[in-house]
Structure 1
Amino acid sequence: MKPVLIIIRGNQSSGKTTLAAKLQEQLGINKTLLIQPSADDDTKTMIKLAEYGQKRFEYVIIEGQLPKDIYSESIKNVIKMFGKQTLVYYLNLTLDQTIQLDQQRDDSYGRERLVEQFQPYDQIDELDINEKINRIIEDINKLPLF
């Protein structure tokens, strides 16, 4: 099977890191490269890590807020590298849902920061973490083998 690229985007405290870590466990730690770029990272680093992962792992997960104004071109380039073996997910929570999740964190971002950085989207994601993992695995199983 060709390597699979999984991109998980969303606002801070939307559950991206938790989903990516649990998905990595489910797929196999040794089979999966997890890339977590921050807005401060050089986007070229993300591309180089994805190239490395494509050669050495069955799955490459890129997880982060990944703002369009910074990452759009880089993400397009990485998607082009993996072609049809790409799955992209946006964890689309309302601001209230995001604040509720943030309050459960030990290292909370705080309401003010979340409100300031929140980027609204037009759908609400109501799946729990296990349903999200199951959906991603189902999507992986639908990909072409070669």
Structure 2
Amino acid sequence: MVGTDETRLIVVRGNSASGKSSIAAGLREQFGRNLALVGQDNLRRIVLRERDRPGAANIGLIDMTARYALDAGFHTVVEGILYADRYAAMLEALVRDHRGISRCYYLDVSLQETLVRHASKPDLEYLTQVTDEHLRAWYRERDLLPSGVETVIDASSGLDNTVKYILRETGLDEVPAVDR
């Protein structure tokens, strides 16, 4: 078992440029301190500099980091593409083992909308490194976890509405932030 009855675990998954990182940042901004962000890109690409493949080391690192944060009393957001065929066993075990409230969300954004959102990113260097061809190759339509634990949020739900919805559904909208 991991975390406490009071901790919240939030998993946000979806294709590249679907809004996962923006939602995670919005949750932290709205909630305040005591909300850990466990980002797949950070752990996989920055910490390990590893390619995303089945059985890769980042899967265990994401799991261990989320468990550590929950055990330390942090509400925790795990966010990333987190392909179901590679990450489902870890994510479903994490949800099953968490003592508190756990909620999983899948951002269902079409490939066309993904391309539009990607093109609007302000980081020109990133846009030259990650092309539309990359996005097409990475894209998986409705790559849901097999256990059916995810709430699907479609592209019509804007950033602010999605953040408010997740805060309300997890009960974080009524939990005071702890200034650590």
Q: Shorter-chain TM-score: what band?
A: 0.7 to 0.9
Q: Deviations over 1:53-102 (max 9, x none)?
A: 11223410000000112111110111112156111111110111000000
1:3 counterpart = 2:7: yes
| Segments of 4+ moved more than 4 angstroms | none
Q: RMSD value over aligned CA atoms?
A: 2.1
1:113 counterpart = 2:134: yes
Contact 1:33–1:57 at 8 Å: present in 2 too? Answer: no
TM-score (norm 1): 0.88
Cα gap change, 1:44 to 1:128, in 2 (>3 Å): same
Partner-residue secondary structure (3-state), 1:119: coil
Partner-residue secondary structure (3-state), 2:11: strand
1:44-63 equivalent positions in 2, closer than 5 A: 44-63=60-79
Letter in 1 for 2:61: T
1:72 counterpart = 2:88: yes
Q: Deviations over 1:103-127 (max 9, x none)?
A: 0112222211111111112974311
Contact 1:2–1:58 at 8 Å: present in 2 too? Answer: no
Q: How far did 1:41 drift?
A: 4.4
1:103 maps to which of 104, 119, 125: 119
Contact 1:32–1:57 at 8 Å: present in 2 too? Answer: no
TM-score (norm 2): 0.72
Q: Aligned equivalents of 1:17 and 1:66: distance in 2?
A: 13
Letter in 2 for 1:120: E
Identity of aligned residues (%): 23
Letter in 2 for 1:32: L
Q: Deviations over 1:22-71 (max 9, x none)?
A: 1111111x311100124364311112111111122341000000011211
Q: Aligned equivalents of 2:29 and 2:79: distance in 1?
A: 15
Q: Aligned equivalents of 1:70 and 1:36: distance in 2?
A: 16
Q: Aligned equivalents of 1:114 and 1:83: distance in 2?
A: 36
Partner-residue secondary structure (3-state), 1:42: helix
Q: How far did 1:2 drift?
A: 1.2
Q: Aligned equivalents of 1:133 and 1:63: distance in 2?
A: 13
